[in-house]
Chain A
Amino acid sequence: MADITIEDQVDFLKGIDATVTKTKVKVEGRYFEIRTSETSGSFANSDGSRISSYLPRVRVDSSLVVTSKGESEQSMREFGGTGGWELVESWNLEKALADEVRMLKTVIDKGKMVKPGKYDLVCGPEVAGIAAHESCGHPMEADRILGREMSQAGKSFVKPEMINFRVGSEYATVVDDPTIPGSYGYYAYDQEGVRARPRYLYKEGLMNEFLTNRETAATLGCQSNASSRSENYLREPIVRMANTHVAPGDFEDDEIFGSVKEGVLMHSFTEWNIDDKRYNQKYVSREAYFIEDGELGGPAKRCALEITTPGFWGAVDAVSKHVKHNAAECGKGDPAQSMAVFTGGPMMRLRGVALK
């Protein structure tokens, strides 16, 4: 990172802008931003732990508004990781964002609205990832479950006694793993000096393990699983996710939609939200395609899924082998703390859900 000057970074963004502009797609709004940080830490506690850490992180944000035929569509993307400039180069952003604006124009020009009804839905990794984060990661945070966030981020539909409670099908496994090398939410030890490890939150459809820090683990009678993180030294460490993704299954991607007679592939999303007990959620497509007799068809425009958490995870009947991650900023705490995380997953099929 030290070899990359501010001038290099600005030139890099200008290069992306030039490539996006050359697509001849009308991109009325263009915003690009790079953030780099290097955080060194020293940790000591009365248990005898002595931990030194160094975390370089890099992030690129883009906001694109495409117009065509008097209509507009927007895309807000984030790319991030723990490492140096080699990560930025690996994202191939000129191509990714040029493809993005071409895709948005196609959605405007050729996209058709979904006729409201029940369909099979294939979620792309970005959609599987946001669902893993919002309707698995957050409700499984022990501080929410115990009520400490009750007046801000809210509580949870999950209760302390619900370990082994069924929330999804046998294909629904969600893991939160801080130890993924190069991931945006990477850390080796949490901010209470506990060694990080993968946490299986939903395992084959059952609630398996809450995200805990030392305080909530003590209340629940278990060991902390290293979920204590803070935005900076001026903020209290609280229970946070790291890299939350749907675990891979046995299918190839094309097998996932190959058996769908009538459905939609929701590749990515724009608008999304979820209630403060993490039970009712909504995802609206940014990029989506109709599926007919196992074949991908034309683009679907602003397809909306509004569904409960057990409704979502209970409808999963196939998961592909190939996991992809996306960087995101997660907000929680008071004062609000923004936290670097990955969301992600493989392609995932939900049978018979209501789309509009």
Chain B
Amino acid sequence: MSELKEAAQEIVDFARDAGADDAVAEVFDHRTHQIRYSNSRIDASNWWGLKHAHVFVAIGKRTLSTDLLDLASAKASVEALVQGARVTPENSAYTGIASGKFKYRRGKADPKIVAMRSPTKHVHDAISAAVREGATEVGGTLFVRHMRAGIASSGGALAEDESSALELSVRAFSQPEASGHALCCTHKLSGMDARGTGSRAGQMAFLAKDPVQGDVGKMDLILEPMFLGELMHSTSHMMSAFYVEVGMSMFAKRVGKKVASEEVTLVDDPTMPSTSQRAFDHEGVPTKRTVMIDRGVLKTYLHDTSTAKRFKTKTTGNAGPYVPIGFDPPAAPLPIHPVLEPGDLSVEEMIADTKNGLYLNNTWYTRYQSYSRGDFSTIPRDAILKIEDGRIVGAVKSIRVSDNMLTLWKNIDAVSKSTEEVFWWDEVAPPSTLPSVRVKGMNITRSS
């Protein structure tokens, strides 16, 4: 048995010996190298090596979890955790962990990424390429990741997984109010195209020059994968049974109903090669491809074992971490790698077929008046290009998309055949593989 699996199994054994009925341990060994750059030069280089374990225990319905940072004292810590669980109030929502004989596909990291020691060349390539396209200031990040995890549970889970990732973000400015943003997210070194990514950011910044105040009213929008990835953050979270249960999902009570146009088939696919490929979820269930929306019809929410029992269905292998990560609560099912199935048009064809609209590079700050209704607004940033009679005719600024998210998904009438993996900062997350889409008649507003 390999080291991480062995460590996870040992923690589960400690928990069972101490009196836990159920236990899950996931041991992580993550190596992350980050290079940050701004104003066209590197401003920080960080390296983190972190080995730790998420541990969950249950005595009946009394549950408790922790993030164990000192694995050398695991036995004493786990005994204290079980002791804590004894005096914890019952968690009525808990219905047990997955049990059975599981089969796993073990992931593999790209050895060239694992061996990478000096990734700055990619950053310099990206900056140079953006500057060649006319950028005056370039900023962004490069993350080099090597992730290993081992999991064990009292339900029979025992597995190990490994993955690698390169995530390059390039934001280029050609003027103070003219910028473009491009990404390259890949699980293999051979997929890294720093020059191409820098060029693309620079080209978008060039097209965004001399922006004028945007018009308000209904418009057709062509959304790049990065823009769509930002919307996917909230859309895919609202697929979680947890958010449905607490009233924070526009998909509540809509299984079997039309929630998007027929152009939309949305799946969660942690099994495809990507930067977020995973062999198992956080309770040790093998991951699988789950169709969430099939040609516009909502098929299922995302589940772990507990939510699946409450919804009288089966887990989809989307159990989230047992400790809170960022703004996500603990033990809530979460999307892992959303994929919007491609269509059959090129982006150029979509532009040529648009009479009056906007081509949108990126957005941020998507916020909801009401998650259950789906009323939201988001602020496009970077290139906002005006389309008239099938041609890009200039750039605009200072607009906001203020509409309804279900309306947006229902108004998609064209999907590109090209797709791109996107993951950026806290906004375009989780990593997703997405095409460009055209959305008809969305409401555009701006400051008065």
Contacts and interface: CB of A to CB of B under 8 A. Distances in A.
A149 B46 CA distance: 16
A253 interface: no
A223 interface: no
A2 interface: no
Given A29-B247, A74-B370, A280-B379, A148 B43 contact: yes
Given A74-B372, A280-B400, A338-B327, A5 B87 contact: yes
Contacts of A271: 367-369, 375-377
Given A271-B367, A280-B379, A282-B400, A151 B87 contact: no
B386 interface: no
A282 B402 CA distance: 10
17 contacts: A30-B246, A31-B246, A65-B246, A65-B370, A65-B371, A73-B370, A74-B368, A147-B139, A148-B38, A150-B139, A151-B141, A234-B48, A271-B375, A273-B365, A273-B366, A275-B365, A280-B379
Q: Which 10 A-B pairs have the closest CB atoms?
A: A29-B247, A65-B247, A354-B448, A273-B365, A151-B171, A151-B139, A150-B139, A336-B426, A271-B369, A31-B246
A150 B137 contact: yes
Given A147-B139, A306-B447, A275 B373 contact: no
Interface residues of B, number: 56
Interface string B78-96: 0000001001110000000
Contacts of A65: 246-248, 370-372
Contact of B38 (A151, A234, A236, A304): A151
A302 B402 CA distance: 13
Contacts of A308: 447
Contacts of A148: 38-39, 43, 139
B139 to A, nearest CB: 4
B191 interface: no
Interface in A124-176: 146-152, 154-155
Contact of B447 (A151, A234, A311): A311
A251 interface: no
Interface of B: 34, 36, 38-39, 43-44, 46, 48, 50, 84, 87-89, 137, 139-141, 169-171, 173, 176-177, 181, 245-248, 326-327, 329, 364-373, 375-379, 381, 398, 400, 402, 425-426, 445-448
B380 to A, nearest CB: 9
Instruction: Give the residue among B139, B176, B426 with the most A Cβ atoms within 10 A.
Output: B426
Interface stretch (A6-14, A42-50, A180-188): A6-14
Given A72-B372, A150-B171, A6 B89 contact: yes
Interface string A258-287: 000000000000111111110111101000
A291 B347 CA distance: 50
A276 B361 CA distance: 14
Given A72-B372, A274-B365, A334-B425, A280 B398 contact: yes
A63 interface: yes
Contacts of B445: 282, 306
Contacts of A11: 89
B290 to A, nearest CB: 24
A298 interface: no
Contacts of B329: 33
A29 B372 contact: yes
Contacts of B372: 28-29, 65, 72, 74
Contacts of A41: none
A334 B140 CA distance: 10
B247 A6 contact: no
Contacts of A311: 447-448
B54 to A, nearest CB: 16
A87 interface: no
Contacts of B36: 334
B367 A29 contact: no
Contacts of B181: 151
A154 B141 CA distance: 13
A304 B400 CA distance: 13
Interface string A279-313: 11110100000000000000000101011100100
Given A65-B372, A270-B369, A338-B326, 10 more contacts: A5-B87, A33-B329, A151-B139, A155-B176, A236-B44, A273-B377, A274-B365, A304-B402, A307-B448, A311-B448
B369 A29 contact: no
A63 B446 contact: no
B367 to A, nearest CB: 5
